[in-house]
Amino acid sequence: MNYVLVQIAKRYLCITACETVGEAAANGTDNKAKGKKQADPNEKKAYSFSSPLIIPVDKAILKDKSSVWEDPSLLARLVKEGLSTMNHSEVRDVILMVESYDLTCQEYQHIKGAKKVLEGLAIDRIKDFVGEAVSDFSVIYKDYSEFKTKEVNEEITSKAFAMPKALADDLVAGFKAFSLNLIQIIPSEAAMIYSAQKTIYSFNKTIALISMDYSAVRVLIAKDGVPLYCHDFVSPVDDILQVIEEDRDLSTAAAIDYLRTAGYGFKEECRNASSQRKIDDIAENLIDDIVRNIRLVTMSLNISIDQMFLSDFLAYIPHIRNYFTNFGLAGEVMLVSDTFTTGSVIPEPSLKARDDFYKNGSYFLMNELMNCGTVFENNLIYGLKAQQAKTLDQSGKAAKVGCIGLGALSVLGIAFFGFFFGRSIVDDMIYNDTKYDYAKTLIEKRDNITQALQDQSQDASLLPRTQLYCEDVINQLDTQVVKKMRSFDSYNITHTTDGDESYSIPVSGTIKDFPTFIDLQNSIKDDGYFIMNETFSVADDPDSGLYQLSAQITTDKTTVDARNAANESTDNSDAEN
Query: Which distant-in-sequence residues (6+ apart) come within 8 Å of 53 by Cβ?
Result: 14, 15, 16, 82, 85, 86
Provide, for the chain, the percentages of residues in helix, strand and coil under a 3-state DSSP scheme, each rounded to the nearest 5. Answer: 45, 25, 30
Alpha carbon distance 168, 386 (integer Å): 13
Helices 237-248 and 273-301 sit at what angle, rounded to 10 degrees? 170
Q: Is the distance from CB of 96 to CB of 50 less than 8 angstroms?
A: no
On the question of pLDDT at 210 being above 60, the answer is yes
Provide the pLDDT for residue 89. Answer: 92
Give DSSP secondary structure letters for 354-382.
HHTT--GGGGHHHHHHHHSS-TTSS-TTT
262, burial (CB in 10 Å: exposed 0-12, middle 13-18, buried 19+):
middle
Percent of the residues in the chain that have a pLDDT greater than 70, as a whole number? 79
Query: pLDDT averaged over the chain?
Result: 78
Residue 414 has pLDDT above 60, yes or no: no
Tell me which range, 71-85, 232-246, 444-458, 486-500, is most confidently predicted by mean pLDDT. 71-85
pLDDT number for residue 330: 86
For the cut 90, the answer to whether the pLDDT of residue 363 exceeds it is yes
pLDDT at position 250 is 86
Q: What amino acid is encoded at 538 in this protein?
A: V
Mean pLDDT of 316-342: 83
Per-range mean pLDDT, top range of 83-97, 134-148, 541-555, 559-573: 83-97
56: left (phi over 0), alpha (psi -120 to 50) or beta: beta
Tens-place pLDDT, residues 437-464: 666 777 777 777 777 777 776 666 666 5
- Tell me: pLDDT of 239 over 90: no
- pLDDT of 398 over the 60 cut: no
Measured in degrees and rounded to the nearest 5, phi and psi for residue 481 equal -120, -60
Mean pLDDT of 330-342: 84
Q: Do 221 and 229 meet the contact criterion of CB atoms below 8 Å apart?
A: yes
525-539 per-position pLDDT tens digit: 888 888 887 767 778
Q: What b/e readout covers 527-540, taking b as 16+ CB neighbours within 10 angstroms?
A: eebbebeeeeebee
Taking the CA atoms of residue 506, residue 512, residue 515 and residue 520 in that order, the dihedral angle to the nearest 10 degrees is -40
Determine the pLDDT at residue 402: 36
Q: 246: which residues sit within 8 A by CB, 6+ positions away?
A: 275
pLDDT at 410 over 50: no
The partner residues of 552 in beta bridges, in order of sequence, read 506
As a whole number, mean pLDDT of residues 228-238 equals: 85
Greatest CA separation found in the chain? 92
CA geometry: angle at 178 spanning 174 and 181, to 5°? 70
What's the confidence (pLDDT) of residue 427? 47
pLDDT value at residue 6: 97
Name residues whose C-beta falls within 8 Å of residue 576's C-beta, 6 or more positions apart in sequence.
none
Q: Count other Cβ atoms within 10 Å, centred on residue 307.
A: 19
Cβ distance 15 to 4 under 8 Å?
yes
Q: Predicted confidence band at 389 (pLDDT cuts at 50, 70, 90)?
A: very low
Name 484's Cβ contacts closer than 8 Å, sequence gap at least 6: 511, 516, 519, 520, 523
435 vs 429: CA distance, rounded Å? 12
- Best-predicted range by mean pLDDT (171-175, 230-234, 279-283, 565-569): 171-175
pLDDT in tens, 68-127: 988 999 999 999 999 999 999 999 999 999 998 888 888 888 887 778 888 888 888 888
Give the confidence band of 417 by pLDDT, cuts at 50, 70, 90.
very low
The one-letter amino acid code at 89 reads S
Strand ranges inside 188-304, DSSP E: 206-212, 216-223, 226-234
* C-beta separation of 143 from 88 below 8 A: no
For residue 317, pLDDT over 60 is answered with yes
Helix (H, G, I), strand (E, B) or coil at 108: strand
Report the alpha-carbon distance of residue 548 to residue 264 in Å, rounded. Answer: 29
Question: Amino acid letter at 68?
Answer: V
pLDDT of residue 139: 93
Residues with Cβ < 8 Å from 15, sequence gap 6 or more? 4, 5, 6, 7, 52, 53, 55, 79, 82, 83, 86
pLDDT-based confidence at residue 434 (cuts at 50, 70, 90) = low
Alpha-carbon distance of 119 to 383, in angstroms, equals 10
Rank 78-87, 277-286, 480-489, 562-571 by mean pLDDT and report only the highest: 78-87
The whole-number average pLDDT for the span 195-213 is 89
Higher pLDDT, 242 or 577: 242
Length of the chain in terms of residues written: 577
Crossing angle of the two packed helices 188-198 and 364-371, in degrees rounded to 10: 90
CA distance 432 to 434: 6
- Averaging pLDDT over each range in 121-130, 160-169, 386-395, which range is the top one? 160-169
Spell out the alpha helix ranges (H) of 10-156.
59-62, 72-85, 115-130
Average pLDDT, stretch 297-301?
83
The DSSP line for 145-199 is TTTT--STT-EEEEEEEEEEHHHHHHHHHHHHTTT-EEEEEEEHHHHHHHHHHHT
Q: Which residues have a Cβ under 8 Å from the Cβ of 58 and sit 6 or more positions away? A: none
Helix (H) or strand (E) holding 46: strand 44-49
Residue 574, pLDDT score: 65
Answer yes or no: is pLDDT of 396 > 60: no
CA distance 144 to 222: 10
Burial of 74 (0-12, 13-18, 19+ CB in 10 A): middle
